[in-house]
């Protein structure tokens, strides 16, 4: 993989990752970009114990532009310059122009309304965009295996670099696909958030993992993986380094986890063999989701990684892949019980979903 870094007109970093080494001289960003004032703050919700990020500068960000005005396409003759100045690319990473978290957030008062009930802090962190291909009409499912491997190496590169930033507690790569999910740019892309705190799901997992370790002396996800493998009823595919399964308490209409055999905390810790197999099995999972519905569904691919600091040894990275579509043309709405009470209700059983995902997989 070839890696070349440059900057955009407003000083944001942009990095080209080529599948193979190329003699590339990055094109100059000729746009006259206004400076975006980052005013993100994080406020503590005393009722839940969670940090909530408020990013007021994002109200006017780009929303579903036509394909010929897509800011993630390469800059080509006859069209307006985009976020990527070059006329072609393999994979590109750049700092989000309208980030939820940023390194240049000004200081803020320690409490909202000067009341200790509501601590607040600058939302220091970093948000990056990862463009998987220059082809606007493609998708991750359609990428060749060599490109999937390049993207995995990119996630490893960014995880290592972002984890080293001062104050970063967690690095979270993810992909939102489909307007039903809330995608505002249809070009095939994902994002990476470097949080200054543990996201609620990560904090919950760490608390469960710590309690499990205190009771048993073992790692929680290792025991979960061993139990799923022993039962076999929800296992989709088992490789040498990774196992994919529908979790026993799946929340979403269709959900699968992809977990490494060993305690690999993040992408950067994966060796060559683990990355190679991950490229194959992740692609396999996406194809199964497509076959399940007969078309590529809206989905979220959430790559949960171990914390950067305290508790890192208690857990490991894993993929949570899920769709809110429960049948062709039908969505699972998060209404009163899920959104209001936080109590999930499934519309079928994980075993039934696993049976179907095995059925539609490769023979």
Q: Of 56-70, 237-251, 266-280, where does mean pLDDT reach its minimum?
A: 56-70
Are 163 and 171 a contacting pair, CB within 8 Å?
A: yes
CB contact at 8 A, 304 and 317: yes
**From CA 216, how far away is CA 334, in angstroms rounded?**
35
Do 2-170 and 201-359 agree at the fold level? yes
Q: What is the mean pLDDT of the chain?
A: 93
pTM: 0.95
**Confidence at 328, pLDDT banded by 50, 70, 90:** confident
pLDDT digits (tens, 9 = 90+) for 18-50: 998 777 789 999 999 987 777 889 999 999 999
Q: Give burial (CB, 10 Å; 0-12/13-18/19+) of 35.
A: exposed
What pLDDT does residue 272 have?
98
Strand bridging mode 91-95 / 126-131:
antiparallel
Interatomic CA distance for residues 353 and 359, integer angstroms: 10
pLDDT in tens, 181-227: 888 889 999 999 999 999 999 999 999 999 999 999 999 999 999 99
Catalytic residues: 189
- What token pair was written down for 256? 């699968």
Domain boundaries, the chain: 2-170, 201-359
**Model confidence pLDDT, tens digit, residues 100-129:** 999 878 889 999 999 999 999 999 999 999
CA distance 204 to 182: 25
What CATH fold (topology level) applies to the domain 2-170? HIT family, subunit A (3.30.428)
pLDDT at 36: 75
Residue 63 has pLDDT above 60, yes or no: no
Look at the domain 201-359 and name its fold: HIT family, subunit A (3.30.428)
Three-class DSSP category at 77: coil
Q: E-assigned strands of 108-162?
A: 120-122, 126-131
């Amino acid at each position: 993989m070839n890696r070349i870094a440059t900057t955009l007109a407003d000083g944001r970093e942009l990095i080209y990752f080529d599948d193979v080494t190329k003699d590339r001289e990055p094109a100059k960003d000729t746009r006259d970009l206004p400076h975006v004032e980052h005013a993100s703050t994080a406020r503590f919700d005393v009722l839940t114990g969670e940090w909530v990020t408020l990013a007021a500068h994002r109200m006017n960000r780009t929303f579903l532009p036509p394909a010929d005005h897509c800011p993630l396409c390469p800059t080509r003759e006859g069209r307006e310059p985009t976020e990527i100045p070059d006329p072609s690319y393999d994979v590109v990473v750049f700092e989000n122009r309208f980030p939820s978290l940023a390194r240049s957030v000004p200081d803020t008062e320690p409490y909202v309304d000067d009341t200790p009930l509501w601590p607040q802090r600058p939302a220091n962190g970093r948000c990056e965009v990862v463009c998987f291909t220059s082809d606007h009409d493609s998708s991750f499912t359609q990428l060749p295996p060599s490109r999937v491997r390049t993207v995995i190496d990119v996630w490893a590169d960014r995880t290592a670099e972002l984890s080293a930033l001062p104050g970063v507690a967690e690095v979270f790569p993810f992909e939102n696909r489909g307007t039903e999910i809330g995608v505002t740019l249809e070009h095939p892309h994902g994002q990476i958030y470097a949080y200054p705190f543990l996201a609620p799901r990560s904090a919950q997992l760490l608390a469960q993992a710590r309690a499990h370790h205190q009771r048993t002396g073992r790692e929680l996800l290792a025991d979960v993986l061993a139990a799923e493998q022993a039962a076999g009823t929800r296992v989709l595919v088992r490789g040498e380094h990774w196992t994919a399964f529908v979790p026993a308490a799946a929340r979403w209409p269709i959900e699968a986890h992809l977990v490494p055999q060993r305690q690999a905390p993040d992408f950067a810790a994966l060796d060559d063999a683990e990355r190679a197999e991950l490229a194959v099995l992740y692609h396999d999972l996406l194809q199964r989701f497509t076959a399940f519905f007969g078309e590529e569904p809206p989905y979220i691919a959430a790559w949960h990684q171990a914390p950067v600091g305290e508790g890192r040894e208690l857990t490991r990275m894993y993929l949570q892949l899920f769709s809110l579509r429960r049948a062709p043309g039908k969505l699972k709405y998060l209404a009163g019980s899920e959104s209001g009470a936080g109590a999930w209700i499934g519309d079928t059983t994980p075993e039934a979903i696993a049976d179907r995902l095995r059925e539609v997989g490769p023979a």
